[in-house]
Structure 1
Amino acid sequence: MQVSVETTSQIERRITVQVPAAEVDEAVAARLQETAKRVRLNGFRQGKIPMAVVRQRYGKDVRNEVVGELMRQHYVRAITEQSLNPAGYPSIEPKVDQSGKDLEFVATLEIYPEIELASIDGTEIERPQADITDADIDQMIETLRTQRAEFQPVERAAETGDQVKIDFQGFLGDEPFEGGSAEGHELELGSNRFIPGFEEQLAGAKAGDDKTITVTFPEDYQAEHLAGQEATFKVKVHEVSAKALPEVDADFIKEFGVEDGDADKFRAEVKANMEREVKQAVQNRVKQQALDALQKANEVTVPQALIDQETDGLKRQAAQQFGLGDDFDVSQLPNELFADQARTRVKVGLLLAEVIKQNELDASDDEVRARAEELATQYQQPEQVVDQYMKNDELKNQIKSAVLEDKAVDKLLDQAQVKDVSMSYEQVLQAAQQSQEAADEEESEESDAKA
């Protein structure tokens, strides 16, 4: 086997491989012998078909099959001999494929980039610090009450926060438009589910009222024939209902897993959940800042094959999230929706892998189990969840990857200047959300610049 490697770009290689004709012909002859023993042809007993007939009938297909196998085998040998680390699958194309001549083929592949990791030394990173106060717990309990609120009919004018049951029909001029009508629709005023201005004009309405509402559809409205158009809605109000919050009694408390309905245990459980939420939010914000700094300090040429693989994974996640079913063809989802996120994920993954490699990081079974136990605290039977994590290789590897990622981030934080900043519970959550939104926006701008 003769191999030559051409560097066509920073991460692309073009390998030309020659396989001796004798090796190919010998493999084809052996496969034809196997074929002759098992095929059936009218007029011949099985295993007694003349080789000339077998070659004439099956020779082309057998050669194609053998050549395909040989190209794959010699490709693997070639990249092993040349110490190439492919990112994804190659494109393999035969160049010379004739009986009696050396087989020649070309494999084009992307390789993992060589990364000379730059330090994030001197980067300033804010680490939020927050204590959960009694007022925070009270507010969370009010939120939980609101989530379980029920609407009860009232004999008064509708206010923001009330629910109205309405019939409505929309008109452009004097003509009703498709999709602009409904009967018995329940709408919470202030939910901003309808066109801007619609809900506000229902404030003050009572059961039995007829209202005429005029609104203008936003310029970016999804239905193009309505975008920017002024519309009139004729509305019939059937019922006004006010939100009734449940009492924080034993029955309410039991809904959250506190079986004896004890109020002090309930508050302790709420606080523990909030502390876990704050801890996760702080970790996410600090990690995001470290990863942002890592990306800014290091330019990496990202293999398209890895981006394509990540894009496909994101598509499958989206399909599951929206309940599209296991048989949904994810190729129907446009790549453009996921490409930016995929590129960033791959780039971060490559950089973190280099941090892990350079620092010789690893995660022991004890560390993996400890993380599994931490994750399992949110379930009713944590022991069973931990057992499931540790016995399932795929789940266990996912947890191990998360532990290694956190260790890599800790190494980055050792290089940075970490400053603790006091915040309230709400401020911590908002800061984490803003950090993620800023990262998403920067990711989009970076992609636009490259485009």
Structure 2
Amino acid sequence: MKSAVETLNPTRVRLTVEVPFEELKDSLDAAYKKINQQVTVKGFRKGKIPARVIDQRFGRGAVLEEAVNDALPKFYTEAVNEAELNVLGQPEVDITELKDGDTLNFTAEVDIRPEIQIPDYSGIEVEVDAIEVTDEDIDKSVEQLRERFAATSPVERAAGDGDVVTVDLEAKVDDEVLEDGVASGVSYTIGSGELLDGIDDAVKGLEAGGEATFASELKGGSAAGREAQVTVKVTQVAARELPELDDEFAQLASEFDTLEELRADSRKRLANMKQYDQATQAQERVLEKLLELVEVPVPEKLLEDEINTRKHNLEHHQLGQMGLDLPKYLEIQGKTEEEFETETREAAVKGIKTQFVLDELVKQEKLNVNQEELTEHLMRRAASSGMSPDQFAQAVVEGGQVPLLVGEVARGKALAVVVESATVKDTNGEIVDLDDEDETEAEGTDAAEAAGDAAEAKADAADATDSADKADKADKGAEKTEG
């Protein structure tokens, strides 16, 4: 077999392959054997039909087609390996010449990973938010805790802001009650915005036994997105009573004896949260700077696949769970379809570039992933997917996604290396030392993913592979290549 490579652009090549006909012998034998098992010829036992009879009855062309389809993936893979190409996705194969008994010539156009030069990144400087916990922040935190310990007591008066009402609901669309539009004994805090648009105005001023009807666009259920006439009947009005902010409250709501100790703990927790946010912000901004330093050509086919995958995940997974379609989502977001298309393309480009750059860094820095790191990452992914670690691990193994997770961890470690070498200052001009952040390296992968994601929730293990990750798979013709 002879092969040659022609570079069409930085991310695509054309392979020209010439195969001597004798190298098709094994595939021809397999083709005759396969056809033997599929057909019946009078006078011959099944599986014992001579090759010449198959040629006469069914045509030599059918045998050649079967043999070539069987052989192409092997010859394509040999040509790829010989040229040391890092291919992406399936090739476009064209048989240019097939002479029975003489030769098989074909071409294969395929995307490849671009060659990337990582420049010196030690001079990267970024600015992040300073860690500041104000008294107002603590007041808000304590007040939220106080709200959770509020008591309610029934009152015989009209409902008002902040009251908790128990209501029965009935929703009609086109004067017909929806099967899933009836609910009884629903508890609702007026002003919380946690139920239906318009319900606050409807129930305010009503006493127990009162009812009202209002129009509201349904956010979920069988008639999601449609306007319904909703009848609400108040069965009870209860006033919320907040506990006094004193030492007794601290003992009720926490393990602390005094309100001062509770507030001190709130300050510490808020500082830890802001420190984590600061580290994540540093990672994302360092990544932005790194991408600006590197020229990364993006394969167009890979980009289109990534865009389509993001749209599919948004429409059929995220929006579907919320009972929305894309037009309604864009209306809520205040975006035009053109703006959505532009943002999705930009996010896809960024995601692919991020993966290419971090993968190159993994090679450059000779980074490896050990079992403990992989297990920790798997636990985090399981938690974000809502699955148990055992369920997630099983789905990962059955879906052949272990290499994908290894790649995610390795890219996280690569990003951590760049962050460690960067200069990070807060808005007060102070140097931020991220070495004490236990989660910096562990969360590096999440920062890398976040930088490339448009509005995508973490995928379940069963379909965790998105198109950007297809670059890891570099399928070299393991499946049947269509001519």
TM-score (norm 2): 0.60
Partner residue, 2:79: 78
Indicate how the Cα distance of structure 1 residues 293 and 235 shifts in structure 2: closer, same or farther if over 3 A, else same: same
Contact 1:162 1:241 (8 Å CA) reproduced: yes
Tell me which amino acid in the other structure corresponds to 2:23.
E
Indicate how the Cα distance of structure 1 residues 340 and 166 shifts in structure 2: closer, same or farther if over 3 A, else same: farther
Partner residue, 1:343: 349
Contact 2:286 2:422 (8 Å CA) reproduced: no
- Provide the rounded CA distance (Å) in 2 between the counterparts of 1:295 and 1:170: 51
Aligned-CA RMSD value: 5.7
* Greater displacement, 298-307 / 114-123: 114-123
Residues 194-224 of structure 1: CA distance to partner in whole angstroms, max 9, x if unpaired? 676652464343223455768999xxxx988
Tell me which amino acid in the other structure corresponds to 1:303.
P
Higher relative CO (CA 8 A, sep ≥ 6), structure 1 or 2?
Answer: 2
Partner residue, 2:50: 50
**Pairwise mapping of residues 40-439 of structure 1 onto structure 2 (< 5 A)?**
41=40, 42-45=42-45, 48-57=48-57, 59-118=60-119, 124-128=125-129, 130=131, 140=141, 143=144, 146=147, 153-166=154-167, 184=184, 186-193=187-194, 198-200=199-201, 202-211=203-212, 236-243=233-240, 277-307=273-303, 308=305, 312=309, 341-358=347-364, 360-363=365-368, 365=370, 368=373, 398=405, 401-402=408-409, 404-412=411-419, 414-419=421-426, 421=428
Tell me which amino acid in the other structure corresponds to 1:296.
E
Indicate how the Cα distance of structure 1 residues 61 and 351 shifts in structure 2: closer, same or farther if over 3 A, else same: same
- Provide the rounded CA distance (Å) in 2 between the counterparts of 1:375 and 1:55: 59
* Greater displacement, 393-402 / 109-118: 393-402
Contact 2:367 2:413 (8 Å CA) reproduced: no
Indicate how the Cα distance of structure 1 residues 83 and 150 shifts in structure 2: closer, same or farther if over 3 A, else same: farther
Partner residue, 1:16: 16
Q: Shift in Å at residue 344 of structure 1?
A: 2.4
Contact 1:89 1:305 (8 Å CA) reproduced: no
SS in 2 for 1:192: coil
Tell me which amino acid in the other structure corresponds to 1:69.
D
Indicate how the Cα distance of structure 1 residues 4 and 406 shifts in structure 2: closer, same or farther if over 3 A, else same: closer
- Provide the rounded CA distance (Å) in 2 between the counterparts of 1:405 and 1:69: 40
- Provide the rounded CA distance (Å) in 2 between the counterparts of 1:159 and 1:289: 46
* Greater displacement, 40-49 / 288-297: 40-49
Residues 110-169 of structure 1: CA distance to partner in whole angstroms, max 9, x if unpaired? 111222335567654234454779997786565456568786543333233333344678
Indicate how the Cα distance of structure 1 residues 347 and 396 shifts in structure 2: closer, same or farther if over 3 A, else same: closer
Q: Shift in Å at residue 89 of structure 1?
A: 1.9
- Provide the rounded CA distance (Å) in 2 between the counterparts of 1:441 and 1:73: 36
Q: Shift in Å at residue 193 of structure 1?
A: 4.7
Contact 1:124 1:416 (8 Å CA) reproduced: yes
* Greater displacement, 400-409 / 74-83: 400-409
Q: Shift in Å at residue 346 of structure 1?
A: 1.6
- Provide the rounded CA distance (Å) in 1 between the counterparts of 2:317 and 2:152: 32
Tell me which amino acid in the other structure corresponds to 2:288.
D
Contact 1:165 1:237 (8 Å CA) reproduced: yes
Q: Shift in Å at residue 342 of structure 1?
A: 3.7
Contact 2:12 2:109 (8 Å CA) reproduced: yes
- Provide the rounded CA distance (Å) in 2 between the counterparts of 1:197 and 1:322: 23
Contact 1:126 1:418 (8 Å CA) reproduced: yes
Tell me which amino acid in the other structure corresponds to 1:350.
F
Indicate how the Cα distance of structure 1 residues 373 and 439 shifts in structure 2: closer, same or farther if over 3 A, else same: closer
SS in 1 for 2:9: coil
- Provide the rounded CA distance (Å) in 2 between the counterparts of 1:418 and 1:201: 51
SS in 1 for 2:109: strand
SS in 2 for 1:348: helix
Q: Shift in Å at residue 285 of structure 1?
A: 0.9
SS in 2 for 1:90: strand
Contact 2:165 2:236 (8 Å CA) reproduced: yes
* Greater displacement, 282-291 / 95-104: 95-104
Q: Shift in Å at residue 20 of structure 1?
A: 2.0
- What residue ranges of structure 1 are gaps of 5+ in the alignment? 254-260, 325-333, 379-383, 424-434, 445-451
Contact 1:169 1:234 (8 Å CA) reproduced: yes
Q: Shift in Å at residue 67 of structure 1?
A: 0.7
- Provide the rounded CA distance (Å) in 2 between the counterparts of 1:353 and 1:134: 44
- Provide the rounded CA distance (Å) in 2 between the counterparts of 1:374 and 1:48: 56
Contact 2:156 2:237 (8 Å CA) reproduced: yes
* Greater displacement, 31-40 / 158-167: 31-40
Contact 1:155 1:240 (8 Å CA) reproduced: yes
Tell me which amino acid in the other structure corresponds to 1:239.
Q
Indicate how the Cα distance of structure 1 residues 302 and 273 shifts in structure 2: closer, same or farther if over 3 A, else same: farther
Tell me which amino acid in the other structure corresponds to 1:349.
Q
Tell me which amino acid in the other structure corresponds to 2:291.
Q
Partner residue, 2:467: none
How many residue pairs get aligned? The number is 395
Contact 2:158 2:237 (8 Å CA) reproduced: yes
Q: Shift in Å at residue 267 of structure 1?
A: 9.9
* Greater displacement, 207-216 / 59-68: 207-216
- Provide the rounded CA distance (Å) in 1 between the counterparts of 2:358 and 2:55: 54
Q: Shift in Å at residue 86 of structure 1?
A: 0.9
* Greater displacement, 110-119 / 198-207: 198-207
SS in 1 for 2:88: coil
